[in-house]
Chains A and B, each alone.
Chain A
Amino acid sequence: MSERRYLTVTALTKYIKRKFDVDPHLQDVWLKGEISNFKQHSRGHMYFTLKDQNARLQVVMFAGQNRNLAFKPQEGMKVLVRGEVTVYEANGSYQMYIKEMQPDGVGSLFLAYEELKKKLSQEGLFSSEYKKTLPKYPCAVGVITSPTGAAVRDIITTLKRRYPLTKIIVIPALVQGVNAAPSIVKAIQTANKMPDLDVLIVGRGGGSIEELWAFNEEVVAREIFASKLPIISAVGHETDFTIADFVADMRAPTPTAAAELAVPHINELMERLSDRKFRLHSASNKLMQHYKDRLTALQKSYAFRFPKNLYAQKQQDLDRTMDDLEAAMKRMVERKHVKWEQLAGLLARNHPKKQWEAEKLTLEQQTKLLTKQMQQTLQKKQWEFQHKISKMDALSPLKIMNRGYSLAYQEDGTIIKNVNQAEKGDTIQVHLQDGRLECEVQDVKERKGND
């Protein structure tokens, strides 16, 4: 009879594990199933079971792999997974270590998402240099979302609680379904035409990848990029990231967080205002104190502390000056007096009375002489006058003509003194003492020596 060999449990399990680990079909397995018994360890590792109608498989996804999941695994969710199958020796059970996971049925959506993300990123739509700055104190906030539902309520409630000063304008848009993307685009365009808006919140509450899909559409991404108003994206839950989130000027994990990012808290503003008021008082008081100190310093200076000294000095100066003035005046008066006396003496010696008497005598003499001279001159003039009158009387042509003489004149009034001044035929005038004759020359005869 042959001897039977007995293996240990460990040995058998190790043998089976090695068989699994070297099997190429088990190193890279693609699997689909439904999630159940989902647990997430505090350190981030995920443990759950994948099952279908007839079987179930234990699954582990370590934190290193699940950290970048674009969705949150949930109980009952159908998923596609990729990983390796191996044996967990402690339990003697086989299990799968997952490297990748995505919701089943939306694999193509994920591929489209990744492709679009890569494309737009390379174009620079996600670049921080294009991010617009949010206004600190917006006057009006535009909210682009469904007018019904939790998101709009959370946004409005938060805005009003934090910053009642801001105006809220809801621009309704579809956020789910095939018409959602064009609706969101149109709402963003409309908002950019409204004059009063300062900032936009664009988003919706959480949902499945299909429900959020509008915010992964290229047209929405490009419209967010083109918006002149700064945009805060507020799509889904904490762990969801849509293309809209990457393009937006600011990403908020929830609609409530978006409202918190959009406006300041009124209590913060009150505190800041108090700080400004305090600093205003402090700076003013400091400045006033500075000027007051300078004034005090001046007041403490020698001149102000001992004004009497300054006064006394001036008094002394004044006394000395007055003494000098008095002495100078006295000297001047004395000099003037001396000069006056000299002039008075000189004046006395030249009293005008004597001169006056002498001049009076001269005047009497001159007066007599003048009278005599005047009489003589007058007589002489009278004699000369009479003489001239007589002479003129003798020469008067009227007197001569009175004796029968006449004067002949040419037509132009020129007196004729010789016969050559007239010609035969000339008309001449002959003046007599009582009138004149108009004559015509008949012949001219010149008187010769013996004629």
Chain B
Amino acid sequence: MTEKKDVTFEEAMKGLENIVEKLEEGDVPLEEAISFYKEGMKLSKLCHDKLSHVEAEMEQILKENGELESFQVQEDEA
């Protein structure tokens, strides 16, 4: 299977959960179990990297002309 591009956190988490459930059923053939384990570790690392090294998304505001612009909240609220 070709490497999936730009897997979202949700997809990776769901995939990992599916793999764990399959392995916990306990009747998986040996080679398939090894394959599942490798895939599970890969997904686990992907999720962890996303949570640990995430660059915060800049918030944006929608303009009258329909374009998005960077938005900064006024911090000087008294």
- Say yes or no: A153 contacts B17, CB within 8 Å: no
Which range holds the interface residue count of chain A?
Answer: 35 or more
Q: Which residues of A sit under 8 angstroms from B16, Cβ to Cβ?
A: 273, 276, 280
Contact of A170 among B23, B41, B50, B59 (CB under 8 A): B59
- Say yes or no: A269 contacts B51, CB within 8 Å: yes
Q: Within the assembled complex, what's the spacing in Å between the Cα atoms of A156 and B70?
A: 13
- Say yes or no: A169 contacts B68, CB within 8 Å: yes
Q: Check if B30 is an interface residue, CB within 8 A of chain A.
A: yes
Contact of A279 among B20, B30, B57 (CB under 8 A): B20
Interface size on B, residues (CB 8 A): 36
Contact residues of B between 14 and 51, Cβ < 8 Å to A: 16-17, 19-20, 23-24, 26, 28, 30, 33, 36-37, 40-41, 44, 47-48, 50-51
- Say yes or no: A137 contacts B9, CB within 8 Å: yes
Contact residues of A between 142 and 185, Cβ < 8 Å to B: 147-150, 152-153, 156-157, 160, 164-172
Q: Check if A287 is an interface residue, CB within 8 A of chain B.
A: yes
Closest beta carbon of chain B to A277's beta carbon, Å: 5
Q: Check if B62 is an interface residue, CB within 8 A of chain A.
A: yes
- Say yes or no: B41 contacts A280, CB within 8 Å: yes
- Say yes or no: B54 contacts A153, CB within 8 Å: no
Q: Within the assembled complex, what's the spacing in Å between the Cα atoms of A307 and B37?
A: 36
Q: Within the assembled complex, what's the spacing in Å between the Cα atoms of A272 and B13?
A: 9
Q: Which residues of B sit under 8 angstroms from A153, Cβ to Cβ?
A: 73-75, 77
Closest beta carbon of chain B to A195's beta carbon, Å: 12
Q: Which residues of B sit under 8 angstroms from A139, Cβ to Cβ?
A: 8
Q: Check if A283 is an interface residue, CB within 8 A of chain B.
A: yes
- Say yes or no: B37 contacts A168, CB within 8 Å: no
Contacts A152-B73, A280-B37 given: A165-B9 contact, CB under 8 Å?
Answer: yes
Q: Within the assembled complex, what's the spacing in Å between the Cα atoms of A63 and B19?
A: 54
Closest beta carbon of chain B to A257's beta carbon, Å: 18
Contact of B60 among A168, A276, A277, A284 (CB under 8 A): A168
Q: Within the assembled complex, what's the spacing in Å between the Cα atoms of A149 and B74?
A: 8
Q: How does the 8 Å CB contact mask read for A266-297 relative to B, with 1 for contact and 0 for none? A: 10011011001101100110111011000000
Other 19 A-B pairs with CB < 8 A, given A168-B60, A169-B60:
A137-B13, A147-B61, A149-B77, A153-B77, A156-B73, A160-B59, A167-B59, A169-B62, A169-B68, A170-B62, A266-B51, A269-B51, A273-B48, A276-B13, A280-B16, A280-B19, A280-B41, A287-B28, A290-B26
A to B CB contacts below 8 Å, 17 in the list: A148-B74, A165-B50, A167-B57, A169-B59, A171-B61, A194-B62, A266-B51, A269-B13, A269-B47, A272-B13, A276-B13, A276-B20, A276-B44, A280-B20, A280-B40, A284-B37, A290-B26
